[in-house]
Amino acid sequence: MAVITITTENFEDEVKNSEIPVLVDFWAAWCGPCQMQGPVVDQAAEAFAGKLKVGKLNVDEQGELAQKYGVMSIPTLILFKGGEAVKKEVGFHSLEEISAMIP
C-alpha cells in the first residue's frame, strides 16, 4: 500500500474516517532523523498493507495539524485508531519498533 501525503484537506477522510488504523509520520525536509525515518515508514506501509494505512505529514506545510496533536519535535509517529490518536512515539524508530506499535 502506498504512503499517503496527509494534509488538512484530506486528514478527515484519510485518518479520522479510516476503517483501519493509520500511522502518521510527522516530518520536515530539513530534519536529518526524519530523512532516516522516511524509508522505514515506507517499509512499514509495505509490511502492513491492508492492515494499516500509512501517511506522511510535513510539519512545515501542515503546522496546524502538528500543533493540534502536540508534535513538539520530529520525527514523531502517531498511531490513529477509530479516528483517535492512541499512540505517540518521538524520534527515529526501527521497523521492529514500529511493528510493536501496531495493534
pLDDT for 41-72, tens place per residue? 999 999 999 999 999 999 999 999 999 999 99
pLDDT at position 103 is 76
Q: Is the pLDDT of residue 40 over 90?
A: yes
Alpha-carbon distance of 72 to 15, in angstroms, equals 20
* Distances from the Cα of 52 to the Cα of 55, 64, 73, angstroms: 10, 24, 24
- Percent of the chain at pLDDT > 90 equals 96
Say how far apart CA 70 and CA 43 lie, in whole Å: 25
- Which DSSP category does 27 fall into? E
* pLDDT above 70 as % of the chain: 99
> Which residue range is the domain that position 56 belongs to?
4-101
Distance CA 56, CA 77 (A): 9
Residue 91 has a pLDDT of 97
What end-to-end distance do the CA atoms of the chain give, in Å? 18
What one-letter code names the amino acid at 67? Q
> Where does the pLDDT of residue 35 fall: very low under 50, low under 70, confident under 90, or very high at 90 and above?
very high
Tens-place pLDDT, residues 19-31: 999 999 999 999 9
The count of other CB atoms within 10 Å of the CB of residue 89 is: 16
Query: What CATH code is carried by the domain that includes residue 11?
Result: 3.40.30.10
Total domain count for the chain? 1
Provide the annotated active-site residues.
Answer: 31, 34
